[in-house]
């Protein structure tokens, strides 16, 4: 059998079901891969000490005919923003260094109940604030395709772990593109579900009206399998949608078997295909549109005029909500406590703790958000941003009256060099141009690889968008496109061996 770590989650599940591989063998292979590459890539912040034991228990259940799900025994990496009772949860911040939660996030609980094997917690920009994973409080994660490049953010650790074959699948969170942009940079598949489609209980909040948990994988079907495990209503999350969901796996399988794209109306959002897009990214996007048209899809230009203001609105809504959510890290209840010399007051301890525990990007956004929420400025800033958000939601609703899915590049560029944007926050934020509107609108979005940039040889991501609740539509269309890209190129970008071998 070929290298175990090169197999997709679906292939691993088939090998487990047939008895060709055991979960212990699969888990050990990925642990070995982590051991060999982690010092180079830096995908993880913590590794599970019980992964092999969990895998052996999974093998025992399977021998008894008690497999809990199709993914029973398959390893998974988990972004460090989700609470885990057996590993530290830091959200990439020194202010939570060493903290082990007393409960699992609902998503983690569902993964365990389905028999998956957690490998560890992946690195991230602190409190998910960043687009390069350079703002982690611990270390920088590198892009497996080019170690001098960023893997994207905030979930660069999850995407890098999957791209480097340290894990077959991973869990991320997406507030403004933190699953989809890293997926684009690393040649993986990343999905942001409909807001409320996956529980946020036990997820350390950044911006509560925007955050959403989703899968990262090497194929559309693998993401669908994970989505079916983690999705669904959770009464512990007040924003969780109490509605039945279609099977994402069945949708992906239907799409993979489709003869072509006949009858699919594809909308191109002209505000998301701007002059600032890297030439190679634009070339691959245009080629993708040509391929879709050749396969029977109807390509329609769509006008979403308020997307022009999405980045500005987002960087008021997010900091405002982050300022409120991060107020709990006050040195009193849990986490880091820094006590100044002398006879400090509670306020002195709080100030010293937050000064030392938070990084520069987090401080920047807290200050911005606190200002936006302050007396006299609330309506002018936060209130106005929410009005723009409503207009963006209307733009998308009107667009979906005309088309079935929307498309754009997942990111304006391929992976940029590490350090290139650290001194220019506005340039870093502008890179989220294509992903942010999806979060503001609450709709589902997927990034899948559509080829390599002809100049730098790095992955380029295609973003698919669908109406709220229509996540299955993404998986159906995404699986068809994935197959078409494979037939065109003779390979999947996600299966190519990157620089780390």
154 is catalytic: yes
Query: Based on the structure, what is the number of domains in the chain?
Result: 1
Residue 160 lies in a domain: yes
Continuous segment of H or E residues that includes residue 446: strand 445-452
Q: Which of 22, 23, 58, 178 is catalytic?
A: 178
- CATH of residue 439's domain is 3.90.1300.10
Q: In which residue are the tokens 């609703």 written?
A: 397
pTM, whole model, 2 decimals?
0.97
The catalytic residue among 22, 154, 240, 410 is 154
Residue 410 makes CB contacts below 8 A (sequence gap 6+) with 177, 180, 181, 183, 184, 434, 435, 447, 460, 461, 462, 463
Whether 325 maps to a domain, the answer reads no
Residue 62 counted as domain residue: yes
387 is catalytic: no
- Per DSSP bridges, beta strands 75-79 and 170-173 are parallel
Question: Do the beta carbons of residue 289 and residue 268 sit within 8 Å?
Answer: yes
CA dihedral 200, 204, 205, 206 (to 10 degrees): -130
- Residue for token pair 């390893």: 75
**Which member of 79, 110, 192, 476 is catalytic?**
79
CA 227/CA 104 separation, integer angstroms: 18
Inside any domain, residue 18: yes
Would residue 106 count as lying in a domain? yes
Note whether 115 and 148 are within 8 A (CB): no
Which DSSP symbol is given to 416?
P
Q: How many residues belong to the chain?
A: 501
421: annotated active-site residue: no
Which range of residues forms the domain containing residue 417? 4-266+401-495
Could you list the pLDDT tens digit for every one of the 501 residues in the chain? 459 999 999 999 999 999 999 999 999 999 999 999 999 999 999 999 999 999 999 999 999 999 999 999 999 999 999 999 999 999 999 999 999 999 999 999 999 999 999 999 999 999 999 999 999 999 999 999 999 999 999 999 999 999 999 999 999 999 999 999 999 999 999 999 999 999 999 999 999 999 999 999 999 999 999 999 999 999 999 999 999 999 999 999 999 999 999 999 999 999 999 888 999 999 999 999 999 999 999 999 999 999 999 999 999 999 999 999 999 999 988 889 999 999 999 999 999 999 999 999 999 999 999 999 998 889 899 999 999 999 999 999 999 999 999 999 999 999 999 999 998 888 898 889 999 999 999 999 999 999 999 999 999 999 999 999 999 999 999 999 999 999 999 999 999 867 775
Contact between residue 339 and residue 352 where contact means Cβ atoms under 8 Å apart = yes
Measure CA 230 to chain center. Answer: 14
**Is residue 286 in some structural domain?**
no
Q: Is residue 365 part of a domain?
A: no
Answer yes or no: is 163 within a domain.
Answer: yes
Identify the three-state secondary structure at position 148.
coil
Buried b (16+ CB within 10 A) or exposed e, 186-214: bbbbbbbbbbbbbbbbbbbbbbebbbbbb
């Amino acid at each position: 059998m070929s290298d175990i770590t090169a197999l997709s989650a679906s292939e691993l599940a088939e090998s487990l079901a047939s008895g060709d591989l055991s979960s212990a063998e699969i888990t050990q292979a990925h642990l070995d891969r982590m051991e060999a590459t982690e010092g180079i890539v830096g995908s993880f912040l913590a590794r599970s000490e019980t992964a092999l034991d969990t895998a052996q228990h999974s093998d025992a259940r399977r021998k008894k005919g008690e497999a809990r799900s199709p993914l029973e025994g398959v390893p998974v990496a988990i972004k460090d923003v989700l609470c885990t009772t057996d590993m530290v949860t830091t959200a990439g911040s020194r202010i939570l260094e060493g903290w082990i939660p007393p409960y699992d996030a609902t998503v983690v609980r569902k993964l365990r109940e389905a028999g998956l094997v957690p490998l560890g917690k992946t690195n991230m920009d602190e409190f998910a604030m960043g687009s390069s994973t350079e703002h982690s409080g611990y270390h920088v994660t590198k892009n497996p395709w080019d170690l001098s490049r960023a893997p994207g953010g905030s979930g660069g650790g999850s995407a890098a772990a999957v791209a480097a074959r340290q894990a077959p699948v991973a869990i991320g969170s997406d507030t403004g593109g933190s699953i989809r942009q890293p997926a684009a940079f690393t040649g993986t598949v990343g999905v942001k579900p409909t807001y409320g489609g996956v529980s946020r209980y036990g997820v350390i909040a950044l911006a509560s009206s925007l955050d959403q948990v989703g899968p990262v994988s090497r194929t559309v079907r693998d993401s669908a399998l994970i989505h079916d495990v983690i999705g669904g209503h959770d009464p512990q999350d007040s924003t969780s949608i109490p509605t039945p969901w279609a099977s994402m796996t069945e949708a992906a399988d239907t799409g993979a078997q489709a003869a072509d794209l006949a009858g699919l109306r594809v909308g191109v959002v002209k505000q998301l295909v701007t002059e600032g897009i890297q030439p190679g990214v634009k070339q691959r996007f245009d080629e993708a549109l040509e391929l879709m048209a050749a396969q029977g899809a109807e390509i329609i230009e769509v006008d979403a005029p308020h997307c022009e203001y999405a980045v500005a609105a987002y960087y008021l809504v997010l900091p405002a909500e982050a300022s409120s959510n991060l107020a709990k890290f006050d040195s009193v209840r849990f986490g880091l406590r820094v006590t100044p010399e002398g006879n400090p007051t509670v306020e002195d301890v709080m100030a010293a703790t937050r000064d030392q525990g938070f990084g520069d990007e987090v401080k920047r956004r807290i200050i911005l958000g606190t200002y936006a929420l302050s007396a006299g400025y609330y309506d002018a800033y936060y209130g106005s941003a929410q009005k723009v958000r409503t207009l963006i939601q209307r733009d998308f609703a009107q667009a979906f009256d005309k088309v079935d899915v929307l498309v754009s590049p997942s990111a304006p560029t391929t992976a940029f060099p590490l350090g290139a944007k650290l001194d220019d926050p506005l340039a870093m934020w502008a890179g989220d141009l294509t992903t942010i509107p999806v979060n503001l609108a609450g709709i589902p979005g997927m990034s899948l690889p559509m080829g390599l940039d002809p100049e730098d040889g790095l992955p380029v991501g295609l973003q698919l968008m669908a109406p709220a609740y229509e996540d299955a539509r993404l998986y159906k269309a995404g699986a068809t496109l994935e197959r078409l890209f494979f037939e065109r190129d003779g390979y999947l970008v996600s299966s190519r061996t990157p620089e780390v071998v």
